[in-house]
Amino acid sequence: MAHAARIGLTPSAPSQGFSAAGVVGRDVVALLQDQFAARGINLRIRALANDTVGTMEAAAYKYADCSMGVILGTGTNAAYVERTSQVGKWRGAPSEEMVINTEWGNLNMQRWMNSYDRAIDAASTNPTKQTFEKMMSGMCAEIDPRSTRDRAEIAPRCPRAERSRGDT
């Protein structure tokens, strides 16, 4: 077999309306490698990161002092570099720094939601979950709910994208 090309992947799905049955709890890289092999595609995955970490790493390639990645799109998230000594939960191999993927879209912002935010949340497939993401991302960007006078317009326009993350 010829030398396999090495790739890194930064998928943006499955969080935005995409799902794959039988994947939760399984090694995604191994599943992808199996499918590449089955199709005769000679690639070897060397890195897998979500879109937020991938954004930070892509910027760091050009700007060595980059230490944060932020996604403001259909969803929202942030990742940053932290000293491992500052991560109390860390029980892995020793290292000076590590990347923290905040998944901040999951922040519970119900306390700060206005009536428009509550209408969008109620129209979603996951009410009371990922309220920060709903309040600030582009998922419901067809309208500007804070400038709309007729709240009845909100619910039908807010997409009902299914979430398939194991952590939500």
Tens digits of residue pLDDT in 21-72: 888 889 989 999 999 999 999 988 888 888 899 889 889 988 999 999 998 8
Q: Where are the domains of the chain?
A: 1-48, 51-102, 110-157
Q: Say which DSSP state 74 is in.
A: S
**Residue 17: per-residue pLDDT:** 57
Contact present, 162 and 16 (Cβ < 8 Å): no
Which pTM was predicted?
0.67
d(CA 50, CA 71): 11
d(CA 120, CA 124): 6
